[in-house]
Amino acid sequence: MEGSGRSPGTTFSTTINTKKTQTLGLLMEQQCHIPPGEFQTFGEPVPACNNISPVVFQGCALTMSRQALLLHWLGILSLTYNTLGSESSVPTPISCTTRGADLSEQRQLVLCPANCTQRRLSVFGSGVYASVSSVCGSAIHRGVIGVSGGPLKVHRLQGKKNYLSSYAHGIQSQSLSTWTTSFTVARVMSAPMEVSSQTSSSAVSASGPEQKKKKNLKKVPSQGNRDCQVDIAVLLDGSYNIGQRRFNLQKNFVSKLALMLKIGTNGPHLGVVQASDSPRTEFYLTNHTIPKAAIFAIKEIAYIGGNTNTGKAISHTVRNFFSLDSGVRRGHPRIVVVFVDGWPSDNLEEAAMIARESGINVFVVSVAKPMAEEMSMVTDQDYMKKAVCKDNGFFTFSMPSWFNTNKYVKPLAQKLCSIDQMLCSKTCYNSVRLGFLIDGSSSVGDGNFRLVLDFLASIARSFDISDVGARVGAIQYTYDQRLEFGFNDYTNKEAALRALRAIPYMSGGTATGDAINYAVQKLFREHWAGAGRKFLIIITDGQSYDDVRDPALAAKKEGITVFSVGVAWAPIDDLRAMASEPKDSHTFFTREFTGLPQFQQPLVRGICRDFTEAN
């Protein structure tokens, strides 16, 4: 470049498209306080560059010659372009009040001005922000930039529910129930570079490997540990008893636990409630479904202080945290992990009973148990036994202190992922294997057969059918038997209901005894039947041509509970012979097919009653 004073052998490209030159002008105007429109490629020396963002513009001298200054900025622009790649590598200047909704690109590099904290900024959410939020305000709240402003990456996302409020880095964000679009902010990860008028070819080309290395860092986000699909509420001890220092150590332990669990969209979900005088939900199950986001959110939790009202926090979690609106998943085990530093201030027994009745597994992690001289201060010395799901040793966990806790992370994570031992989560609604044995004989008729299918679908709808929940299967029979679908064919409730209603009518004779034997062999004994309490609902409208007593007895010996439903000419004696004990509560009869809906609720209650008594 002529007149640049560059030494022979150095190279520097000055070919920059119009858009990037215009953007450079905007950067100069904003960062060097040049009046709009006065930046020129050639002309008089520009004013001194004051208050330049150290991340974007480094080494700007207070006075520069025309060519040196031009070379300086062109060097920065060239290096930024090489470092960040061909995507919009030059940050777009925005104002303090620019909202996420105002940005047009899915991923965009922007530049925030300094001193945005001096303005009133609207920020909604924590980590993930509603698109009505100020981008710069969100970036300061997240810790991506400071009060001096600077560049950041903005990534637009779909909308969500439960944007949580929090205070961080001088910004108080607000809560919002739902919004149509969201965004996240992140730091610009390019390494700082010193740029001078003597930029060499080696310095420019060095951005090549840097760019390649950056591309190699892109990974597909983990979907989580599929073998540990549980919903976990962590109850932090935020009392005066624990203090600020141990509270921070507690947060560190929970962060390590989140990493060990491998939380993710298709794995464990984790949320946090802080217990003190009054419980406070810090974030819900679906607010942060990758470890990095959850760990950042945990780090940002502010210590409350107050009494250790653990029972109050458990009740709050059962009633308010585990709801479909808050992201809880149907059919997945629900767990509350209660951290107690010392001992609780209130009673846990009633809250724990509510949790058990709601199908929630309560774990208690006791840290620094009270010493002998302190035991007189403990209101209920058996609080751990009363609080947990079951007093069998599995649901309690102890650590001597908050120091050197790394060795306890893995054992606790393994317990929380032991789904088969979550005794309290195995409710009748999410743990049964429900088989339907349907009479398709000629006496039923196609119209009545449709009424039967609607009735059975109403029963199935009452249960949480999923890959980790309840399952349904169906067999139609005449003299022959046909497996319509097994327990493993439909792990989605709506799909299962559609399949049930779509069963085509067979027509033929009636051999109920053979059909029961077929159900035991083909529906309940197959390896894909899986674990879960087994129930068989037999529905028939007439006399069977074979014996039903011995096949029904064999089914009961296999652990299958039988409900018999008769219509029209079905013999009461046969119905009672097939049904499990007590006969009166497992036998149903109506003269008309239109009378079947009256049995829906009694059948569902009967299944849950039998399930509860057996567990």
Whole-number Å distance between alpha carbons of 96 and 56: 17
Q: What is the pLDDT of residue 374?
A: 59
**Is 490:510 a contact under the CB 8 Å cutoff?**
no
Beta bridge partners of 566: 540, 589
Q: What is the pLDDT of residue 220?
A: 40
* pTM: predicted TM-score of the whole model, two decimal places: 0.46
Single-letter code of the amino acid located at 224? G
Q: What is the pLDDT of residue 583?
A: 96
Cα 575 to Cα 66, 303, 474, 605: the distances in Å are 101, 63, 19, 19
- CB count within 10 Å of CB 390 equals 15
What residue spans in the chain does CATH classification 2.170.130.20 cover?
92-187
Whole-number Å distance between alpha carbons of 485 and 542: 24
Cα 404 to Cα 56, 372, 407, 476: the distances in Å are 41, 23, 7, 61
Whole-number Å distance between alpha carbons of 265 and 294: 12
How many residues are recorded in the chain? 615
Whole-number Å distance between alpha carbons of 484 and 497: 12
Q: What is the pLDDT of residue 86?
A: 39
What residue spans in the chain does CATH classification 3.40.50.410 cover?
231-421, 432-614
Whole-number Å distance between alpha carbons of 403 and 249: 8
Which residues in the chain land under pLDDT 70? 1-89, 189-222, 370-380, 468, 526-532, 615
Whole-number Å distance between alpha carbons of 185 and 488: 42
Tokens of 241: 């008893």
Q: Which CATH superfamily is domain 92-187 in?
A: LCCL-like domain (2.170.130.20)
**H helix or E strand, kind and range, residue 205:** helix 201-205
- The CATH class, in words, for 231-421 is alpha beta
Tokens of 141: 């709240």
Q: What is the pLDDT of residue 146?
A: 86
**Is 357:376 a contact under the CB 8 Å cutoff?**
no
Whole-number Å distance between alpha carbons of 285 and 294: 10
Residue-by-residue DSSP string for 107-154: EEEEEE-S-GGGS----BEESEEETTSBHHHHHHHHTSSBTTBEEEEE
Tokens of 342: 């010392």
- In whole angstroms, how large is the CA radius of gyration of the chain? 33
Assign domain 432-614 one CATH number from 3.90.226.10, 3.40.190.10, 3.40.50.410, 1.20.1260.10.
3.40.50.410
